[in-house]
Amino acid sequence: MTVMGAGVFGLSIAWVCARRGAKVRVVDPKGPGGGASGGVVGALAPHTPENWNEKKAFQFDSLTLAEAFWAEVDASSGFDSGYGRTGRLQPIHDDRALTLAEDRASSAAELWQGQAVWRVAPAQDYGLWAPASATGLVVHDTLTARIDPTRACASLARALTTLGVEILKEALPEGRTVWATGYEGLLALSDELSRPVGGGVKGQAALLRHDASSAPQVFSDGLHIVPHDNGTVAIGSTSERDFDQPSGTDAQLDALIARAIRAFPALEGAQVVTRWAGVRPRAKSRAPMLGPYPGRKDQFIANGGFKIGFGMAPKVAEVMAALVLDGVDHIPQDFRVGASF
């Protein structure tokens, strides 16, 4: 089989299929992590534990699979993906937000099946790493994790080579084929079907030199602030529907960094070591797009990871391997290719 695309979806699907004994090759002119999956943020954060649906349940399953998934990949590759289930803090700004947080804590106790908690806690419990909070309270969830996207793609690529998987810059698809080709693939499918099924949303992000490797990440003022295990903190991201330079950074990133510092004063004076931009694939349905490729026998689509691709990847790989190798379909209804029509 062939996997077209070496982002996190393509590499993860190739990994699970190869582990099951399939002969696999991966093709991507940009190489592993050469597109949106080669970013810097790496926030593996859950949806809120309320109004439960298939998408939230699928993501929950994937986040609980992630620790074992990345440990196995890293053990095979000898690399370190930077995975760590370090949790997340969110400020509670007023009484309404406090009531909502307490309701979600009750929901999480049931929906998260004892595998993680969502709780209200005093901000002072987290010292200098606590985000600014008008009530002095924060939400702390223990399901959120972090990963280093670039290192994770490198670890997957190396793990695949240990199983004899070729990763090529150019080659025609052979055998059963999975198209995990990012936003360009969504645009091509839109043209092919003569209807919009998705496209790209640019994101800009930054990596700051600040050592908080064991601290939880912070979600505040619409921003992800993610400490990594190498003495850096990622800030992300913008969401831009209109753009001229897919990989260029500009004043919007400067504004993003300034907002992050206002929301989280501990970052004041931190050196900016990396400025990154890329275009993330967003399906029209906003959910991942998984399943058979319309009108093409033995061809499949795995796309639309958008902002949750790394969090969804372990479960996406599992269900796509079952579909491609066994013909068993466990794809949620909202994830099906037709859901974006």
- At residue 262, the pLDDT reads 87
Q: Are residues 130 and 263 in the same domain?
A: no
Q: Are residues 165 and 203 in the same domain?
A: yes
Q: Are residues 236 and 96 in the same domain?
A: no
Q: Which two tokens stand for residue 120?
A: 């209200």
CA distance 302 to 315: 12
Of the candidates 106, 125, 142, which is a domain's last residue?
Answer: 142
pLDDT reading at 178 higher than 70: yes
CA distance 14 to 25: 8
Q: Are residues 325 and 252 in the same domain?
A: yes
Q: Are residues 109 and 213 in the same domain?
A: no
Question: C-alpha angle with apex 139: 136 to 140, nearest 5 degrees?
Answer: 120
- At residue 264, the pLDDT reads 82
CB 306 within 8 A of CB 5: no
Q: Which two tokens stand for residue 320?
A: 């796509």
CA distance 187 to 147: 28
pLDDT over 90 percentage in the chain: 94
pLDDT digits (tens, 9 = 90+) for 203-213: 999 999 999 99
SS3 per-residue string spanning the chain:
CEEECCCHHHHHHHHHHHHCCCCCEEECCCCCCCCHHHCCCCEECCCCCCCCCHHHHHHHHHHHHHHHHHHHHHHHHCCCCCCECCCEEEEECCHHHHHHHHHHHHHHHHHCCCCCCEEEEEHHHHHHHCCCCCCCEEEEECCCEECCHHHHHHHHHHHHHHCCCEEECCCCCCCCEEECCHHHHHHHHHHHHCCCCEEEEEEEEEEEECCCCCCCEEEECCEEEEECCCCEEEEECCCECCCCCCCCCCHHHHHHHHHHHHHCHHHCCCEEEEEEEEEEEEECCCCCEEEECCCCCCEEEEECCCCCHHHHHHHHHHHHHHHHHHCCCCCCHHHEHHHHC
For residue 83, the one-letter residue type is: Y
Q: Are residues 162 and 289 in the same domain?
A: yes
Strand partners, 303: 289
pTM summary value: 0.97
CA distance 183 to 186: 5
Q: Are residues 135 and 147 in the same domain?
A: no
Q: Are residues 265 and 291 in the same domain?
A: yes
Q: Are residues 81 and 100 in the same domain?
A: no
pLDDT digits (tens, 9 = 90+) for 9-58: 999 999 999 999 999 999 999 999 999 999 999 999 999 999 999 999 99
Domain count, the chain: 2
**Mean pLDDT value of segment 267-286:** 96
**Mean pLDDT value of segment 177-200:** 96
Q: Are residues 114 and 229 in the same domain?
A: no
Question: C-alpha angle with apex 83: 18 to 157, nearest 5 degrees?
Answer: 30
CATH code of the domain covering residue 71: 3.50.50.60
CA distance 161 to 81: 16
Q: Are residues 138 and 38 in the same domain?
A: no
pLDDT reading at 341 higher than 80: no
Q: Are residues 205 and 73 in the same domain?
A: yes
Confidence band, pLDDT 50/70/90 cuts, at residue 147: very high
Domain range for 130 is 88-142
pLDDT digits (tens, 9 = 90+) for 296-331: 999 999 999 999 999 999 999 999 999 999 999 999
